[in-house]
Amino acid sequence: MRILLASSEVHPYSKTGGLADMVGALGKHLARAGHQVGLVTPLYAGIREKFPAMARFGNPLQLMLGHQPTTAEIWALEPINGLTIYFVDQPDFYQRPALYQRDGADFPDNAERFIFFSKVVAHLALTLPWNPEVVHAHDWQAGLVPLLMQEEARLGKTGQGRVLPRTFFTIHNLAYQGLFPISRYALTNLSWSHFTAAGLEFYGQLSCLKAGIAYSDYVTTVSPRYSKEITTTEYGCGLDGFLQDHQAKLVGILNGVDYEEWNPETDNTIQAPYSAADLNGKAANKAALQEEMKLPVDANVPLLGSINRLVEQKGVDIQLGALEEMLGADLQFVLLGSGNPTFEQAYVDLAKRHPTKVAVQIGYNHGLSHRIEAGTDFFLLPSRFEPCGLNQMYSLRYGSVPIVRATGGLDDTVIDFSESPESANGIKFSEYSSTALARAIRKGLAIYDEPELLEHYRMNGMAADFSWSRTADQYLSLYRKAP
């Protein structure tokens, strides 16, 4: 098939979260399966310098953004056979040190930046010489793509003999909706007939996410459980009714893990490789992590870890509460994360008060994120909601037993003893409270005290297989199913 993907972040070029991992891996696996794949993404600061092999593609584009003719150049890079990354080069919009925010606040021109991005994607979808038959847009930043394509086609702007590609939209996180004041709508150059409750209007605002849902042939979420949850008031972020209306085209497909990136047997960012057959390296990684994080090096103390965007979604409040409760016990905890300054400060303070038990690194650190998976005994992810979650799947493969709240993708991927003693690979709890998390941590410590049981959990976790080939196959059958 000929497939065009569009995403505002793609690993290894840009990343703030799981979206980048997912889209990077999807592109790679579809191309490896023999399909022709293009992937459109903004050219942020530093990417061209890091990937100098990219070359100019075609002539500069000029598209209307409201009344403003706006130009972009496209750069193309072919990292593997069959996969072309198209970088949208619009320096005023994308040459910035961060993707979406400065000092914790969204850039004031994010509407311009991502409406323009969506316009470029729609244009490429209809003009690329290899004639994509499927266009798969991700998250609100690309939410307008299906509608913009329809409009271009309606105005007769599709190339001769071309049919409108089928459109797919993936919600990676319903909480981020790309909401903008009505005054920004003019930037889309779309007819006002779409600005309705059934279209892209949300309580008087423009919702880029709603556009993706309303106008694509299929909508997917990144786990089956989350596709059900978002049709409920509790998880629907105000869109539950709207999503119920579109339920017939809503499908949950669990993200895969890129085991080329996340494999303790071949990971060159960790101290010592290891496998389920030989766990010796795990101990060396634990010691190295304790040393790196300046904690006492002690093979016997259970080491818990967490890697996260420090935002409410991730259950930061109950994690802080549970740690306060549990720090009397013999354990250590390491955290890597960044986000809300109040949460950052709370962790820094916790580490100051418990320097021999808690170590915190605020910031983004790719290598350390791997070393935490490799060095810890348990991994905490007590999310309030979790569309898929990747870290729990990484920790399963690294033999770090996940302790998670039973929601979204966490519930789909972690198996608790109560569900199946034989296949248990982690600990799940339901109630969103510090007490419930502390109880789950206590269960973890009890498992740690029984080496055979710990081994049972680890072996089950390391054997769990969330390979991308299965995920890519599911997307392919959906691509084929569309009208």
Chain positions contacting ligand ADP, by CB under 6 A:
17-19, 21, 307-309, 336-338, 364-366, 369, 388-391
Is residue 221 within 8 A of residue 175, CB to CB? The reply is no
For residue 165, how far is the Cα from the chain centroid?
A: 25
Q: Residue 96: is it exposed, middle or buried by C-beta count within 10 angstroms (0-12/13-18/19+)?
A: middle
Polymer length in residues for the chain: 483
Q: How far is the CB of 335 from ligand ADP (least distance, A)?
A: 9
Q: How far is the CB of 267 from ligand ADP (least distance, A)?
A: 13
For ligand ADP, the closer of residues 389 and 399 by Cβ is 389
Q: How far is the CB of 390 from ligand ADP (least distance, A)?
A: 4
Q: Kindly report the backbone phi and psi dihedral angles of residue 9, in degrees, each rounded to the nearest multiple of 5, phi listed first.
A: -150, 145
For ligand ADP, the closer of residues 17 and 79 by Cβ is 17
Is residue 467 within 8 A of residue 257, CB to CB? The reply is yes
**How many other C-beta atoms lie within 10 A of the C-beta of residue 163?**
9
Is residue 390 within 8 A of residue 400, CB to CB? The reply is no
* CB closest to ligand ADP, residue no: 18
Q: How far is the CB of 247 from ligand ADP (least distance, A)?
A: 24
Q: How far is the CB of 336 from ligand ADP (least distance, A)?
A: 5
Q: How far apart are CA 241 and CA 138, in angstroms?
A: 21
Q: How far is the CB of 242 from ligand ADP (least distance, A)?
A: 22
DSSP state of 313: G
Place of tokens 């409406």: 115
Is residue 392 within 8 A of residue 376, CB to CB? The reply is no
Longest dimension (CA), the chain: 71
For ligand ADP, the closer of residues 18 and 375 by Cβ is 18
Place of tokens 């972690």: 414
For ligand ADP, the closer of residues 22 and 65 by Cβ is 22
For ligand ADP, the closer of residues 43 and 390 by Cβ is 390
Q: How far is the CB of 47 from ligand ADP (least distance, A)?
A: 18
Q: How far is the CB of 203 from ligand ADP (least distance, A)?
A: 25
* Structure tokens that stand for 68 in this block: 């403003």
- In a 13 Å sphere around the CA of 332, the CA atoms on its Cβ side amount to 26
Handedness of CA 449, 450, 452, 456 (dihedral sign): negative
Cα-trace Rg, the chain: 23
For ligand ADP, the closer of residues 39 and 307 by Cβ is 307
Q: How far apart are CA 89 and CA 109, in angstroms?
A: 16
Which residues neighbour 252 within 8 Å (Cβ) at sequence distance 6 or greater? Answer: 220, 221, 222, 223, 224, 225, 226, 227, 228
Q: How far is the CB of 16 from ligand ADP (least distance, A)?
A: 7
For ligand ADP, the closer of residues 119 and 371 by Cβ is 371
Q: CA angle, corner 256, sides to 32 and 280, nearest 5?
A: 105
Q: How far is the CB of 201 from ligand ADP (least distance, A)?
A: 27
For ligand ADP, the closer of residues 17 and 82 by Cβ is 17
Q: Shortest CA distance to 169 belongs to which of 198, 196, 194, 144?
A: 144
For ligand ADP, the closer of residues 38 and 382 by Cβ is 382
For ligand ADP, the closer of residues 21 and 112 by Cβ is 21
For ligand ADP, the closer of residues 111 and 336 by Cβ is 336
Is residue 456 within 8 A of residue 424, CB to CB? The reply is yes
Q: How far is the CB of 174 from ligand ADP (least distance, A)?
A: 12
Which residues neighbour 361 within 8 Å (Cβ) at sequence distance 6 or greater? Answer: 293, 334, 335, 336, 368
For ligand ADP, the closer of residues 25 and 128 by Cβ is 25
Q: How far is the CB of 222 from ligand ADP (least distance, A)?
A: 8
Partners of 403 in beta bridges: 380, 427
Q: How far is the CB of 358 from ligand ADP (least distance, A)?
A: 16
Q: How far apart are CA 362 and CA 344, in angstroms?
A: 7
For ligand ADP, the closer of residues 38 and 399 by Cβ is 399
Which residues neighbour 298 within 8 Å (Cβ) at sequence distance 6 or greater? Answer: 290, 332
